[in-house]
A and B are shown apart, each in its own frame.
Chain A
């Protein structure tokens, strides 16, 4: 009894561990915003170095579209992961014995990857040299394709794990 009381006094509350993290997260966000603003300014400067007006307009168009694509893709994947989370909640509601832990882990991992992709700088990586412009833009898009594939694979893994949980649920339910 005394030992239990001592444990209660010594053990810090769960919320106490999360409080010191907040300033760090805020600082990271401010740092990220500053980095993005700097990158935007740098990108504008590099685009302005291009002499060909047609190429300049095209690079800006590709850049804008690239940012839109990232925004749309991350929004869609976030929506899909939310659907999976909702489905898992329904699975748990219907049959508590169904193990949903691996699906939950897969969703959390995919969500983290999507968040990282959403937070990254969407700007094209160019030096402003006209003769290298095409290869630099192509490389930037190739990198994005690799990033998309990596995140998409994780979302697919989460979908598969959720489907397995649903199939387990189907086995526990009586036939109609």
Chain B
């Protein structure tokens, strides 16, 4: 009985892990190309131009 219930619990846990993995994999926007492109978009910036503009303004006081 004990070993049977242990096996049952192990199978249940395995199923739960598979279901969670499947949900994560299939959730739209989480790992798909759209989400990747969005993440890529977030890596865009001005390349430090605004910081350098501030420094240029400080130079005017020299």
Q: From residue 44 to 62 of chain A, which have CB atoms closer than 8 A to chain B?
A: 55, 58-59, 61-62
CB-based contact B33/A62 at 8 Å: no
The contact of B62 among A59, A65, A90, A144, by CB within 8 Å, is A59
Minimal Cβ-Cβ distance residue in B for A74 = B48
CB-based contact A62/B55 at 8 Å: yes
CB-based contact A83/B31 at 8 Å: no
- Number of interface residues, chain A, beta carbon within 8 A: 40
Minimal Cβ-Cβ distance residue in A for B55 = A141
The contact of A167 among B33, B48, B49, by CB within 8 Å, is B33
**Which of A24-32, A35-43, A130-138 makes up part of the contact surface?**
A130-138
Q: Is A163 an interface residue (CB 8 A)?
A: yes
Q: Is the interface of A mostly helix, strand, loop or mixed?
A: helix
Q: Is B15 an interface residue (CB 8 A)?
A: no
Q: From residue 120 to 168 of chain A, which have CB atoms closer than 8 A to chain B?
A: 133-134, 137-138, 141, 144-145, 148-149, 151-152, 155, 159, 162-163, 166-167
CB-based contact A141/B37 at 8 Å: no
Minimal Cβ-Cβ distance residue in B for A170 = B33
Q: From residue 38 to 62 of chain B, which have CB atoms closer than 8 A to chain A?
A: 39-40, 42-45, 47-49, 51-52, 54-56, 58-59, 61-62
A148–B54 Cα distance when bound, in Å, is 15
CB-based contact B33/A173 at 8 Å: yes
CB-based contact A87/B36 at 8 Å: yes
CB-based contact A141/B52 at 8 Å: yes
**Smallest beta-carbon distance A176→chain B, Å:** 6
